[in-house]
Amino acid sequence: MNFEKIDHILKEHEYKHSAIISIMQDVQGIENYLPEDTLRYISEKMELKLTRIFDIATFYKTFSLTPRGRHTIRVCSGTACHLGGAVKNLEQIQRTINIQEGETTDDRMFSLETVNCLGACALAPVMVIDEDYYDAVNPGDIEKFLSPYRSEPER
Amino acid sequence: MKQIKTISDLEDLRKSILKQRDPEKITIRTCLSTGCRAKKSIKVISALEDELNNQGLQEKVEIKRTGCHGFCEMGPIMVIEPANIFYRQVKSEDIEDIVFETILKGNIVKRLLWKDAGTKEYTKTEQELPLYKKQKKHISYNSGKIDPTDIEDYIVADGYSALCKALSAMTPAEIVETVVASGLRGRGGGGFSTGLKWRICSVAPSDIKYIIANGDEGDPGAFMDRSLMEGDPHRIIEGMIIAAFAIGASRGFLYVREEYPIAIEHLSIAIQKAEEYGLLGNNIMGTGFDFNISINKGAGAFVCGEETALIISIEGKSGTPRSRPPYPAFEGLWGKPTIINNVETFGNITQIILKGADWYSNIGTTGSKGTKIFSLVGKVRNTGLVEVEMGTTLREIIFDIGGGIRKNRQFKAVQTGGPSGGCIPISKIDMPVDYDSLREAGAIMGSGGMIVMDETSCMVDIARYFLNFLLFESCGKCVPCREGLKQMHYILTNICEGNGERGDIETLAELGNFMISTSLCGLGATAANPVLSTLRYFHDEYLAHIYDKKCPAGVCKNLFEYMIDETLCNGCTLCRIRCPEKAISGEKKKPHRIDTAKCIKCGICYNSCKRQAVIVI
């Protein structure tokens, strides 16, 4: 872990305890997850109890304590997407890359997540891979959407 | 730098901006909001920019990058002014025609116009679109018209005039009483009187007070707050400054979902610009009034939309609600009196101040004033954002504005209010939409999500869906919510999987009513609404699941089969080719068959068939 970057983030937020959520969001931005030694480091530097940090890390859905894959697939499970067949899309993705929601493939290529609602309900059902949105998805499209990411060189 | 140092400076600035602008100039309004961006509008706009440059038109034609137009499904959207021509689903390949035909020759490119799926008629201008025609855009007026990152656009559109009036011609008490008299009720869900909240907070004894704008729009199926934050961020900020002046607060917080990066970006730019112009920060417009706003990003916890949980989250802890009273207006952030309002509520303030409480309270119904933005989505033909007067009927919204149900299917229900709301059946379609009527019908206004369902939507599955949602979002602090949700979800899952038993319906109702009366916060107290409202209006569907072991809508996997209607199948082979399990057999041009033993019910055949020959039994 790059402690210099973490120090910079802590400094930016003036080590304020009330800013801990923002700090953790920024720190997660570095490696896309929160390694344990990083959280211990933050706890020490901020003089903030490790239990509080873990409380936050496990309470809020955005935080991950395990490494994520190179590409994150987020399937929107908002109401409009659910009605439009999000579950069938999710199942098809699970079959295609052989992992369950919340898991990462063995080759660390994909992580699969669901998200409550992306607020793009008029485009339902929606799926997002990294930053790319896919609208009106149906199970037959899944393979076509995923395959370009497999061959993409590492970011 | 055009720092505004006195109240009259704003009007001078507006005049000087207007002087530089040519109202007759051809302007292409393009949308850069989440919906259109998802449909690659950035690429299309850059192609437009290139083409205009190539033709040497960059000085003659202005590209305005706006927020949401509300017709997200039709994105990327382009509106060409002053003729108001509305083009939809524009691709980079269409740009040449737009420039050569429309910009240079004034001709319409017909294939880009919106076409009514029912009447097959084309609509030429934005204002003639059925989705917009019956709307009353008061709050969402600027969105889709102005560049949200350009404060001068907002100023030209009368922006910050309400703040001028509030600071120069009104006392804090007058502002509070104007908001009380307007009848405005909170747009976040609860529907509490905004003015009363302000009044309580304004008299609470404390030197330090806070303003919080709740942009943690968590209800699945609702995205009006996102659009407002993305498309007209200054309106929210102006509302917050006025509120701060009215109660004597000097710090404000905007709590926005992390899932809304564009909203966060546009609000950040707006805050920075407002500060640069002297409209926010210390000594606002030279009046000696100080107010600063910072943004807090949510971290993916639905319960943080609840006000006490949100406040605790801003304090840097895990956002679990606490019991009220004391209400935040007495004891809020860091124990100080705090006004916490939804962003759309703040969006209403400027017009109340500018046009007065009488004008505002003339709009709407007796108990619900003003207009409300709804997100009309689901199985309806025209999906998007619609702003209508309170009291507009469901029929007007869904059929006149929304164009009715897709694929000529039957309307079954409309779900309002998100996980705290309920499903309203066809028998109530002529009901006026306001806080009180919705509550009577077993639903709530919520933040304004309206999800339309047809006969392919299973009401038991929807009830389970919301419980499943809440099960993960319940903070676990109080027993009724934590355990009640678990038990209800267990029973509903059994029903959906074909293991429902006699007595399940009664147990669900009993648990639901228990949760309503004993839960700590609004999440638990309303969690049973989706179950109770579907039990009330769609009892038969529960019976079909429990006793006949059938899901009439074809959603619950164990309770239906796919079959090919041989009279409709023309043997195109598409389903056979696409079936991942090779469960479909048949020769070319002859009816196909599904082997139900092999079928995993992925739905690919059902979605692929162009003749709707794959049916649910």
Question: Closest-CA residue in chain B for A23?
Answer: B316
Q: How confident is the model at residue B296 (pLDDT cuts 50, 70, 90)?
A: very high
- ipTM given for this complex: 0.93
Q: How far apart are CA B150 and CA B154, in angstroms?
A: 7
Of residues B165 and A138, more confidence is placed in B165
Question: Closest-CA residue in chain B for A88?
Answer: B602
Residue B1 clears pLDDT 60, i.e. is over it: no
Average of pLDDT values for B325-336?
96
Q: Do residue A116 and residue B302 have CB atoms under 8 angstroms apart? A: yes
Q: How far apart are CA B81 and CA B71, in angstroms?
A: 18
HSE-up (13 A, CA, CB side) for residue B474: 27
pLDDT single digits (tens) B521-534 = 989 999 999 999 99
Question: Closest-CA residue in chain A for B455?
Answer: A83
Q: Do residue B299 and residue A21 have CB atoms under 8 angstroms apart? A: yes
Tell me the pLDDT of chain A averaged across its residues.
93
Residue B7: phi and psi, rounded to 5, are -60, -40
pLDDT at A154: 53
Name the H helices within B40-171.
41-54, 95-97, 130-133, 151-156, 161-169
pLDDT at B608: 87
Q: How far apart are CA B541 and CA B463, in angstroms?
A: 12
pLDDT single digits (tens) B502-514 = 999 999 999 999 9
Q: How confident is the model at residue A153 (pLDDT cuts 50, 70, 90)?
A: low
Average of pLDDT values for B42-70?
95
Tokens of residue A155, six digits: 């970011």
Task: Name which of B222, B223, B297 is nearest A25 (Cβ-Cβ).
Answer: B297
Task: Name which of A88, A115, A140 is nearest B608 (Cβ-Cβ).
Answer: A140
Residue B257 clears pLDDT 80, i.e. is over it: yes
Establish, for the pair of chains A and B, how many residue pairs have beta carbons separated by less than 8 Å.
159
Q: How confident is the model at residue B376 (pLDDT cuts 50, 70, 90)?
A: very high
Strand (E) or helix (H) holding B471? helix B459-473
SS3 state at B411: strand
pLDDT at B604: 87
A21, A126, A143: which to substitute to probe chain B, counting the most B Cβ within 10 Å? A21
Q: How far is A63 from chain B (nearest CA, A)?
A: 8
Answer yes or no: are the C-beta atoms of B299 and B316 closer than 8 Å.
no
Q: Do residue B604 and residue A116 have CB atoms under 8 angstroms apart? A: no
Tell me the pLDDT of chain B averaged across its residues.
95
pLDDT at B440: 93
SS3 state at B423: strand
Residue B466: phi and psi, rounded to 5, are -65, -40
Vertex B247: Cα angle to B244 and B249 (nearest 5)? 50
B602, B606, B608: which to substitute to probe chain A, counting the most A Cβ within 10 Å? B602
Average of pLDDT values for B384-389?
96
Task: Name which of B218, B453, B604 is nearest A139 (Cβ-Cβ).
Answer: B604
Contacts of A42 in chain B (CB under 8 A): none
Answer yes or no: are the C-beta atoms of B278 and B3 closer than 8 Å.
yes
